[in-house]
Amino acid sequence: MKNTLIPQEIIENKIFLIRGKKVMLDMDLALLYQVKTMALNQAVKRNAKRFPDDFMFRLTLTEKEYVITNCDSLKQLKYSPHKPYAFTEQGIAMLSSVLKSDKAIEVNIQIMRTFIKIREMIISNKELRLKIEEMEKKYDKKFAVVFQAIAKLITEPKEKVMKIGFK
């Protein structure tokens, strides 16, 4: 495999979960593509039909404040009057057809590989969770008698204790 242009960790740190979708912000993408954010957004506006709402959306003020407070690298966004655009994986893939430079193509390939790696990690974590749940079921069956005895001790009222000694 060819040497990576941008370390994968840098790309991973620029992916946010907003509205239940993994997205990257226009300013981070522009930085990776080495273009101005305004130029990236103009290219998108010129090709608006390629970017439906499930490919790209504008953040609300609440969402903008959320990303500012949760990411140190976006502190300068606090003073911007603009609400950034968020691009989903499909929107980022579509950017490669809008931004035609070699740099954009290379960066897009890396971003797509990062999204794939994240998806694979989520799938493997889901498989791990399912295996743990299976083990818990087996564990529960083996120790069902113990759990029943504990439950019985907890729920049964205490018997009267016979007093020993003088009245």
CATH architecture assignment, domain 8-126: Roll (3.10)
Q: Report the pLDDT averaged over residues 99-115.
A: 81
Tokens representing 21? 């979708």
DSSP 115-151: HHHHHHHHHHHHHHHHHHHHHHHHHHHHTHHHHHHHH
Helix (H), strand (E) counts: the chain: 7, 4
Which comes out higher in pLDDT, residue 142 or 14?
14
Provide the pLDDT for residue 25. Answer: 93
Query: Over the range 60-96, which residues count as b (16 or more CB within 10 Å of their CB) and which as e?
Result: eeebbeebbeeeeebeebeeeeeebbbbbbebbebbb
Residue 97's pLDDT band (cuts 50, 70, 90): confident
Residue 105's pLDDT band (cuts 50, 70, 90): confident
Q: Name the phi and psi angles at 145, rounded to 5.
A: -60, -40
Tokens representing 153? 């001790």
- The residue with tokens 């493997």 is 124
Residue spans per domain, the chain: 8-126
